[in-house]
């Protein structure tokens, strides 16, 4: 990784130059990383990718190895903030921690990086909105990349209005929340960050989303066929009469394209090679998700009782937080046999494969033996599943994942949700067995698989030359290239 702040070479100066700034966390970094690579490889741009190293996970460090980066893509480290732990408390949640890490990192380094590298534009994610004020001082336009669903973005744009007009907690509202022009959202499905308005998590989230209208444009990782209702509402803009919305550009689906397959990963893929087509359930809860000890036990026995083939990515359980692994992605964990129930490995030997902590998700979803995906429904994982035509069983854990699960089940038709009532937390082994059988063997599962295949083809068309997402990106690229006066 390029740790220097030297000026770009003469060859780089001849190319349009933009910079990227994601907050820590693979779910935020990967879509911006793929967008940046597309600009470099397909459109001849020079990219400076600012990397916040405070709180960086092992997976983040691996991603930015120099041999992973194309020519013209320069990763620039923002040094770690000293004594960052002094800003934290034990009960502090993920968005609050992220916001503090980003604020302290940008406060110390962003102005000098922007002046040194002088990009045409800076593309940020949701939790880097402190950059708006800094970029205003140096006259560099800022674009927002909303890395979650467009449905969540529409709700987020409407949140400042809700904050002014609604008294009490949103989760206590008797009726679904009606974002203008969009389908209603059940209060129980709202993202965690808005379920307690007295918590700092809510205050940080509200601050960030209230700044989105400051952007020169908004990039969304979606396409017209996946979220037609929400995208029409945002692009039409008449529904959001009192909310200034910058131009919305669909880029999706942007998913991880290149995945380093290690020797251990190759063993997983070899095991899949020996399984029948569409026969394996892939079970993983993303880069940061964790189950409680009791829930992991129920999951294990539910998989065993279903008699289906499976790959289970087993992470050390946490009874404290569903996002306990968020800042520890890609690190080594203990042997799964230490925390999976006794006898589970023997009873599932041959038809089940247990993988500790991390697996090559894209390669597994792309394998013909993979028949379904038991997922937390984080947006990157959702897009990876859809792009590869794999239906899902929804097991949301935190953030906006319940919103995604409801949308995918009720509007898109590629997902089934567990029938868990508000206030109920534990999903029993019998419920897990039943759901797995329905999706892997039943008519409902086959219908979901057909729908997932339709969206797989739709995604290809959107990204192909002349497709809706390709056309949207090309218009922005032409705008940036036409204004050479702002190039470095």
As annotated, the active-site residues are 28, 125
Q: How far apart are CA 376 and CA 382, in angstroms?
A: 9
Q: Residue 288: which of 397, 206, 195 has the closest Cα? A: 397
Q: Residue 122: which of 107, 138, 109, 98 has the closest Cα? A: 138
What pairs with residue 452 in β-bridges? none
Q: How far apart are CA 413 and CA 293, in angstroms?
A: 31
Half-sphere exposure of 301 (CA within 13 A, CB side): 13
Q: How far apart are CA 23 and CA 19, in angstroms?
A: 14
Strand order across the 73-78 sheet? 73-78, 46-52, 17-21, 122-124, 142-146, 218-220, 248-250
Helices (H) and strands (E) in the chain, counts: 17, 13
Q: How many CB atoms lie within 10 A of CB 317?
A: 17
Q: How many CB atoms lie within 10 A of CB 333?
A: 15
Q: How far apart are CA 466 and CA 450, in angstroms?
A: 25
Q: Residue 478: which of 45, 35, 135, 123 has the closest Cα? A: 45
C-alpha 26, offset from chain centre: 7
Q: How far apart are CA 38 and CA 249, in angstroms?
A: 15
Q: How far apart are CA 379 and CA 454, in angstroms?
A: 19
Q: What are phi and psi for residue 46, nearest 5 degrees? A: -105, 130
3-state secondary structure of 481: helix
Q: How far apart are CA 474 and CA 459, in angstroms?
A: 17
């Amino acid at each position: 990784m390029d740790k220097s702040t030297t000026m770009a070479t003469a060859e780089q100066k001849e190319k349009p130059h933009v910079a990227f700034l994601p907050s820590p966390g693979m779910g935020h970094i990967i879509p911006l990383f793929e967008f940046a690579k597309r600009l470099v490889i397909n459109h001849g741009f020079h990219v400076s990718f600012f990397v916040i190293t405070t709180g960086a996970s092992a997976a983040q460090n691996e991603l930015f190895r120099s041999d992973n980066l194309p020519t013209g893509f320069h990763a620039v480290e923002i040094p770690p903030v000293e004594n960052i732990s002094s800003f934290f408390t034990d009960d502090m949640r993920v968005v609050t921690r992220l916001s503090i890490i980003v604020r302290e990192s940008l406060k110390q380094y962003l102005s000098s990086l922007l002046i040194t590298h002088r990009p045409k534009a800076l593309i940020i994610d949701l939790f880097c909105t402190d950059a708006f004020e800094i970029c205003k001082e140096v006259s560099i336009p800022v674009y927002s990349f909303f890395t979650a669903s467009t449905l969540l973005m529409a709700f987020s744009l409407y949140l400042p209005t809700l904050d002014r007009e609604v008294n009490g907690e949103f989760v206590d509202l008797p009726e679904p929340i009606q974002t203008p022009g969009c389908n209603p959202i059940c209060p129980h499905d709202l993202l965690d960050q808005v379920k307690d308005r007295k918590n700092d998590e809510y205050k940080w989230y509200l601050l960030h989303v209230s700044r989105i209208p400051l952007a020169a444009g908004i990039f969304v990782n979606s396409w017209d066929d996946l979220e037609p209702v929400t995208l029409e509402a945002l692009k039409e803009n008449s529904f959001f009469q009192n909310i200034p919305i910058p131009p919305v550009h669909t880029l999706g689906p942007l998913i991880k394209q290149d995945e380093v397959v290690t020797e251990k990963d190759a063993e997983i893929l070899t095991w899949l090679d020996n399984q029948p087509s569409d026969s394996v359930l892939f079970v993983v809860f993303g880069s940061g998700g964790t189950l409680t000890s009791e829930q992991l036990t129920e999951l294990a026995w539910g998989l065993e009782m279903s008699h289906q083939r499976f790959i289970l990515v087993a992470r050390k359980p946490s009874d404290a937080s569903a996002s306990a692994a968020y800042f520890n992605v890609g690190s080594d964990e203990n042997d799964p046999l230490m925390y999976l129930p006794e006898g589970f490995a023997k009873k599932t030997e041959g038809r089940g494969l247990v993988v500790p902590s991390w697996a090559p998700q894209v390669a597994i979803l792309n394998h013909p033996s993979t028949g379904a995906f038991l997922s937390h429904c984080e947006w990157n994982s959702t897009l990876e599943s859809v792009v590869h035509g794999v239906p899902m069983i929804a097991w949301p854990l935190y953030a906006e994942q319940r919103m995604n699960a409801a949308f995918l089940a009720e509007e898109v038709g590629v997902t089934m949700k567990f029938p868990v009532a508000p206030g109920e937390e534990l999903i029993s082994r019998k419920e897990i067995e039943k759901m797995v059988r329905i999706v892997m063997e039943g008519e409902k599962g086959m219908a979901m698989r057909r729908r997932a295949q339709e969206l797989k083809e739709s995604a290809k068309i959107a990204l192909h030359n002349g497709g809706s997402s390709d056309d949207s990106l090309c218009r922005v690229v032409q705008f940036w290239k036409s204004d050479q006066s702002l190039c470095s």
